[in-house]
Chains A and B, each alone.
Chain A
Amino acid sequence: MRQIKRRIYPIEENCMGCRLCEVACAVEHSKTKDPISAFLEEGWEPFSHTVVEMIGPVSFSLSCRHCDEPYCVEACISGALRVEGDGRVVVYEEVCVACGMCVVSCPWGAIKPRKRDGVVKAAKCDLCPDREVPACVAACPNRALIFDTALGPGLEKVEEEEIIEG
């Protein structure tokens, strides 16, 4: 049993669709971590792990749910996807063979293939290990993303819904 589960929760009512979370994610996962260089100069295609889904007034920023029993981990043929002790689902890029099984198995569409320096690997939200608060959460101007580090009584329900029976 895990004691701590760190997750980013999107708040649909507050998301206004500006996509600054996507910008922040791409910048955080760039070489230079500078917004202008990340997009214009460094040669890596800017790549965001979170995607703002929008239909009319409904929008929210969706990234990896870090499921308790992740389909992607089950589907991974090389063992590159693992659940860490703190609940994070992580890609070990050196092991990834880019078979694409995780991409098709994720019900949230939260894993995408990413090409960098000519090599394709699975890429997904890593909850920004270098930051106290993930970049997307820090960049959101309207508090449409919340970073929860502990399970409160209100969140147990949400977690139950997210457990996918295999």
Chain B
Amino acid sequence: MLYDSVFVFPNFEVERDYDKCIVCKACVQQCTFDATYYLPYRARVVSKDTNCVGCRRCEAICPTGAIKIRRYQGEFKDNAYWTPRDLKDLYKQAEQGGVILTGGGNDRPYPVYWDHILLDACQVTNPSIDPLREPMELRTYLGRKPDRVEIRYNEDGEPELKTQIVPNLVAEVPVIFAPMSYGALNLNMHRAEAAAAKAMGTYWNTGEGGLHRELYPYGDHTIVQVASGRFGVHAEYLQVSAAMEIKIGQGAKPGIGGHLPGGKVDEEISKTRMIPVGSDALSPAPHHDIYSIEDLRQLIYALKEATNYEKPVSVKIAAVHNVAAIASGIARAGADIIVLDGFRGGTGASPAIVRDNVGIPIEMALAAVDQRLRDEGIRNWVSIIAAGGIRNSGDVIKAVALGADAVYIGTAALLAVGCTLCHKCYTGKCAWGITTNDPYIAKRLNPEIAAERLTNLLKAWAHEMKEMLGLMGINAIESLRGNRLRLRAVGLSREEMEILGVLPAGA
């Protein structure tokens, strides 16, 4: 189009039915990417397809259903090797000479192991349980468990616990909102997560951008993150929390740091992150004080010391090739919880090439870590949280059976409040008001509605999980943990099944 480079080809086209368009201009007002505009002389709303990112906000808001967003019909010549995406990315880089950024999680067609695993059910010889008639427990304790429990009798002859139990997190549903920072998300989304976590008796995670003071009352349901940039970390932040998390890596971009552009750092974010307004918030790739398991141990105990050993400390790593050995080291360094973030995990901004090519599937990492810790006899030292691409309650149940104590949901939580996976989080222009700090766009995310939707999602998943536990004849989710005999694999190779520790269907 005029003034555009000739190398720009649209990804989507906005199809507008002019028989239905009432020219209310709601789409023009709602499009944050300038893909839709009003032509006064023709009294018509028209589109600029090259700007459309496919977020479908206009389609959702149109009162007459006049808009359809479609994949761009014009195609390049068929080529089984060079995909249109490869071509467009290459053109863009030849134009601008930069790294292609993206948001969200890996969307490439790598195998999805969840979809190759099936659950067992009770028939005839072992009774299933009806969760509507019998008690069913989803409560999960996250943290270090003692090696053995010893009892002593006091002077009155009453038994009491001799073993000292270290503090654990108690989640009523084994689903926790994943770390997504204030800055990447806006305060409305943090408000919603906090309220939903409190309502459902579970937790939410601040991510590395600190905790806004307004949300301190939700501290009992908040896991606060300490990451390589140390943004927003101070004594009160640690003390107000339910647990602390050291972020080493992120599934979407293992081994690289973060960058919140200065333009997003407004007054409130500046106060929360403790950096000047308008300055870039750069999180280094490594923690500059952690170069070994011993260094990690120092930070873990520094945090425990700072909070009087009253809160568990979790360590979050990306799922990478030798994750089992690293997890073993983390357990021995004194962590109470290990978070494994698989390669499908999302991000606010990452080089696309990193998101699409680095890391390993969470299913493999989870099975490998659980097995390694069992083999070493230290599985009870830590709880494992699986993160990165949990899509539904079936994935949660499979993750638990593969060895997770609980799961993080990030992308799923964003989807619940409107995200359509357009992967434009890094632009700060999210038309659904989720990953933007523009006060005008952020208003679109009403924290009250968002909290209700998140609560509904967790309620629905909890109900489904109870159904699935019931059909397996299990009445507590903790009894399913690591019970891989209740899983069977379809369409996997012998090596894959060996790593997953799952038998083939029919065996």
Tell whether A pairs with B.
Answer: yes
Instruction: Indicate which residue in B24, B441, B449 contacts A142 across the interface (CB closer than 8 Å).
Output: B449
Instruction: Indicate which residue in A13, A20, A22, A24 contacts B61 across the interface (CB closer than 8 Å).
Output: A20
Contacts of B438 in A (CB 8 A): 57
Contacts of A142 in B (CB 8 A): 443-444, 446, 449
A56 at the interface (CB under 8 A from B): yes
Instruction: Indicate which residue in A15, A35, A139 contacts B443 across the interface (CB closer than 8 Å).
Output: A15
Contacts of B25 in A (CB 8 A): 19
Known contacts A18-B30, A143-B448; A39/B22 CB under 8 A: yes
- Interface residues on chain B, number (Cβ under 8 Å): 22
Instruction: Indicate which residue in B22, B61, B448 contacts A18 across the interface (CB closer than 8 Å).
Output: B61
Main secondary structure of the interface of B (DSSP, over half): loop
Nearest CB on A from B42, distance (A): 15
A101 at the interface (CB under 8 A from B): no
Q: Which residue of B lies closest to A52 (CB)?
A: B29
Per-residue contact bits, chain A 42-65, to B (CB 8 Å; 1 contact, 0 not):
000010000000001101000000
Instruction: Indicate which residue in A15, A17, A20, A57 contacts B63 across the interface (CB closer than 8 Å).
Output: A20
- Asked whether, in the complex, the Cβ of B22 is within 8 Å of the Cβ of A23, the reply is yes
- Asked whether, in the complex, the Cβ of B26 is within 8 Å of the Cβ of A18, the reply is yes
A155 at the interface (CB under 8 A from B): no
Contacts of B443 in A (CB 8 A): 13-16, 57, 59, 142
Contacts of A22 in B (CB 8 A): 24
Known contacts A18-B30, A18-B61; A39/B23 CB under 8 A: yes
B388 at the interface (CB under 8 A from A): no
Known contacts A35-B63, A57-B443; A16/B433 CB under 8 A: yes
Per-residue contact bits, chain B 411-448, to A (CB 8 Å; 1 contact, 0 not):
00000000000000000000001000011110110101
B residues 441-459 in Cβ contact with A at 8 Å? 441, 443-444, 446, 448-449
Contacts of A36 in B (CB 8 A): 19-20, 22, 64
- Asked whether, in the complex, the Cβ of B433 is within 8 Å of the Cβ of A23, the reply is no
- Asked whether, in the complex, the Cβ of A23 is within 8 Å of the Cβ of B24, the reply is yes
Instruction: Indicate which residue in B24, B30, B61, B439 contacts A57 across the interface (CB closer than 8 Å).
Output: B439
Known contacts A35-B63, A141-B61, A142-B446; A18/B29 CB under 8 A: yes
Per-residue contact bits, chain B 17-53, to A (CB 8 Å; 1 contact, 0 not):
0011011111001100000000000000000000000
Q: Which residue of A lies closest to B441 (CB)?
A: A16
- Asked whether, in the complex, the Cβ of A20 is within 8 Å of the Cβ of B448, the reply is no
B residues 47-82 in Cβ contact with A at 8 Å? 61, 63-64
- Asked whether, in the complex, the Cβ of B26 is within 8 Å of the Cβ of A35, the reply is no
Known contacts A17-B29, A19-B29; A39/B440 CB under 8 A: no
Known contacts A14-B443, A18-B29, A35-B22; A143/B449 CB under 8 A: yes
Q: What is the bound-complex CA distance between A24 and B449, given in angstroms?
A: 21
Closest 8 CB pairs of A and B: A39-B22, A57-B440, A57-B439, A16-B444, A16-B443, A18-B26, A142-B446, A23-B24
